[in-house]
Amino acid sequence: MKNLIYASCAATVLLCSGCSVLPEQAELSRLPVITYGTPAPAGDNFILFFPAGQPIPTDVAIVGSLLKDTSNQRLVVSLNKDVYAFKRWVSFDNKHWVDARDTIDVKVEVRIPGPNHTKPGEIKVQIDNKSTS
């Protein structure tokens, strides 16, 4: 289940793979900016733009051979500000770039009912701006 949640988060947010040295702003300005939800070019040489307020769907599933009933749902969230992502770098204005790990904090909690958690199961993904978390 954790792998499913991590994969969903990666699709939404997105953000944390690639080169270790930030390219120059001139190089970044030549890259195409692709709005989330539109087809992306082949490869990873583009900036992915998440506009504030635009729906970001994430599919969540609880499935498996031990279950009689399974569940699939689409959850939709939106950002409160624009986010530009390039490999592991992020910008809020497409000009000033920082390592996503330095500005965005992502926490994933999964609790499955059992002896240590006798309440309903829980899946929580919390995404915070580190400057305000």
pLDDT at residue 74, as a whole number: 98
DSSP helix/strand/coil, 108: strand
pLDDT of residue 14: 45
DSSP string, 21-89: SPPPHHHHHTSPEEETTSPPPSSS-SEEEE-TT--EEEEEEE--TT-SS-EEEEEEE--SS-EEEETTE
Q: What is the pLDDT along the chain (133 residues), one digit of tens a residue?
A: 555 554 444 444 444 444 468 788 888 989 999 999 999 999 989 999 999 999 999 999 999 999 999 999 999 999 999 999 999 999 999 999 999 999 999 999 999 999 999 999 999 999 999 975 4
Write down the pLDDT at residue 7.
46
The pLDDT score that the predictor gives to residue 15 is 42
Structural domain spans, the chain: 2-102
Number of CB atoms found within 10 A of residue 45's CB: 13
Distance CA 24, CA 13 (A): 23
**66, 51 Cβ separation under 8 angstroms:** no
Which pLDDT does position 20 carry in this prediction? 60
